[in-house]
Structure formats: C-alpha cells, structure tokens
Amino acid sequence: MCLIIVIKEYNDQLIKDMEIAYNRNSDGFGLMYSKNNKLITDKIIPKNFNDCLNLFNLHKEQTNKMAIHFRFTTEGVSTLENCHPFISFDNENKSIGLMHNGARLPIPLLNKKNSDTYFFNENYLKPLFRQNKNILNSKYFIEELESHINSDKLVFLDSKANQFFIINSNEGNYVGKNWYSNDYWNIIPNSSYNSYMNYDYSKSFDNQYNYDTETFNNLPYQNNFDDDYSFYPNDLKAKDLINMDLKDIDELIDELFLSDQQEILSELIFELCEKLKSKTDNNQLMLIDEKIEGVKDLKNFFSKKEGLKK
C-alpha cells in the first residue's frame, strides 16, 4: 500500500530500507524537494531497484531533505500519470507538491484509469489551494483534513517555505530523523498479505464512490467540513503574517473581504497594535504618529501641486 519517506538524514540504512520498499511497492517511484524556492519533482516507472537508486542519487546532492514515494497500485493503472508526487498548486512564486499513502481517499473515482490520489488532487485540493495558497498554515484546516481522510497520510511540500506538512504524521513512524508513512512496508508477503493485494477496495465505500459518472454527476455536493468553515479561521494570528510578502498580504485582505470575514482582519490589526504598544513607550508612539502625519501632509502637498498643474 505504498510508502512515503520524508528524508532528513542520508545513511546506509535508508538505502537498505529503500530496496526492501521497492520489492514490496514497485509500481512507481518519485521524489520531491525544494531548491531556491522552486519545487523539484521527478518520477519513473522503475524496471528494477537500480532505476530508483540512480534517480535518488541524481538528486540527493541538491538538497539536505526530500520526500520519496514507492507506489503499490490499488486504484487506477500503473502509469507515470498516477505516480507520486502530484502538483497541487503552482505559480511563479510558490508551488505545492503532494504524496499520499493509504487504502483510499474519500473522493469519487470518475474512471478506471486514474487513481484516487489523482482525483483527490484535481477535484478537491487544487480548488482549495487556488482559493487560498497559504491554507496549510492553518491549524484548523490541518485538523479537519486529518479527520476527513481518516488514517490515510498526505505529505505536502511548500516550495517557498521549503517546509513539509505531514497530515496524520502519528500514523507513521520515525527511523532516526526520517519519517516513514507506515510500519508494514517491510513485511514479508504471506497468505494474508496476498489477500490484501487482491482485495477489492471499492467494496469499502458506499455507492457514491464508484465509477458510475452519471450517478456521481447527479449527486448533490457534499462537504464533510463544518458549514461555517472558513479558509482563514479565527485562530489566525498576527505572527502568521511574518512569512507572507506584500502580495500574500494583499491576497489575504482581498479574500477576507470577499468571504465577508472582515472581523478577522480587524482582530489581526488590533493584535499588531497591542504588540507594538507593549514594546514601544509613549514617546516613541508619539514620534511615530508625528511621522505618519508628516507623510500625510507631504502627500497632500503633492496632490495639491498636481492639481494646480492640471
């Protein structure tokens, strides 16, 4: 059932684990990391373990941390399109990569060719990130997503922050500094394992998660999140703005107004003011006020001057 390893330490044990993982999950191999704020991804359908090792060695000198994925096909066909990583968001400033490990994500399968991860990314995650590319910084969203996917695991990589976000990290385990998405990746195949490999996962889900696209298209939209779910929840703090540039803050303001959540913006401004007051004495505050008024007067002067010219 696949394996993700988030690597922060290269060692001989890792290579041994990779070879064992390939022998159990050989339907695809991929990797992702961030370099100079750019998302770097690569993936193959390996013919043998050396194909995986060669790709890994090609990239490991470029970064001190990366995520790798060994695929075991349960949904969809074994093609490069269904291999991990997937791209969940991409623009000139930031990209977000995705890997998944688990039995089945809660999303309808619209054909037999593509995997559940493919459809979860295309029809669920991409629309979310288009609306708010910083949503991974929301603790509330992470908690809701963990609940939504049950015991499945997701790994996101934010290229701009060079940060991995592991959803349901407690379902995996650490070997040294490296995180493994499950602890059964090295189990020697036996009769029960073979039964697992031949299991029809579609039986585990109700009728809305099937290949009948006509039925799916007629289903009413269902959202497992709370009705009052917001992309910028009330627990957003002023410190969350630290990693945002001016463009990000502009987008935040636009999104808060469009979603009628101006009160969050008011709270953020109030919090920033309180922090400023706590670290600045009255004389300094008066000086700041004077400078602000001076800037306003200067703007008014130039505005009047422009008006006289016209």
CB 175 within 8 A of CB 203: no
- The confidence score (pLDDT) of residue 197 equals 44
In 3D, which of 111, 108, 129, 132 has the Cα closest to residue 120? 108
User: With a threshold of 0.75, does the pTM exceed it?
Assistant: no
| Burial readout 78-94 (b: 16 or more C-beta within 10 A, e: otherwise) | eeeebbbbbbbbeeeeb
pLDDT for 210 beyond 50? no
pLDDT for 284 beyond 60? yes
Using 50, 70 and 90 to split pLDDT, how confident is the model at 306? Answer: low
- The confidence score (pLDDT) of residue 184 equals 78
- The confidence score (pLDDT) of residue 185 equals 72
Q: Which residues, at least 6 apart from 251, have a Cβ–Cβ distance to it below 8 Å?
A: 133
pLDDT for 132 beyond 70? yes
Question: What does the pLDDT average to over 86-103?
Answer: 94
pLDDT for 219 beyond 50? no
Question: What does the pLDDT average to over 21-49?
Answer: 96
| Average pLDDT value over all residues in the chain | 78
pLDDT digits (tens, 9 = 90+) for 144-186: 999 999 999 999 999 999 999 999 999 999 999 999 999 877 7
Cβ atoms within 10 A of the Cβ of 38, count?
A: 11
User: What's the Rg (C-alpha) of the chain?
Assistant: 24
Question: What does the pLDDT average to over 273-283?
Answer: 66
For every residue of 69-97, which 3-state class applies, written as one string? Answer: EEECCCCCCCCHHHCCCEEEEECCCCEEE
Which domains occur in the chain, in start order? 3-217 (3.60.20)
Question: What does the pLDDT average to over 198-204?
Answer: 42
Question: What does the pLDDT average to over 252-262?
Answer: 62
pLDDT for 260 beyond 60? no
Report residue 252 as tokens.
Answer: 């935040």
Using 50, 70 and 90 to split pLDDT, how confident is the model at 280? Answer: low
pLDDT digits (tens, 9 = 90+) for 95-126: 999 999 998 999 999 999 999 999 999 999 99
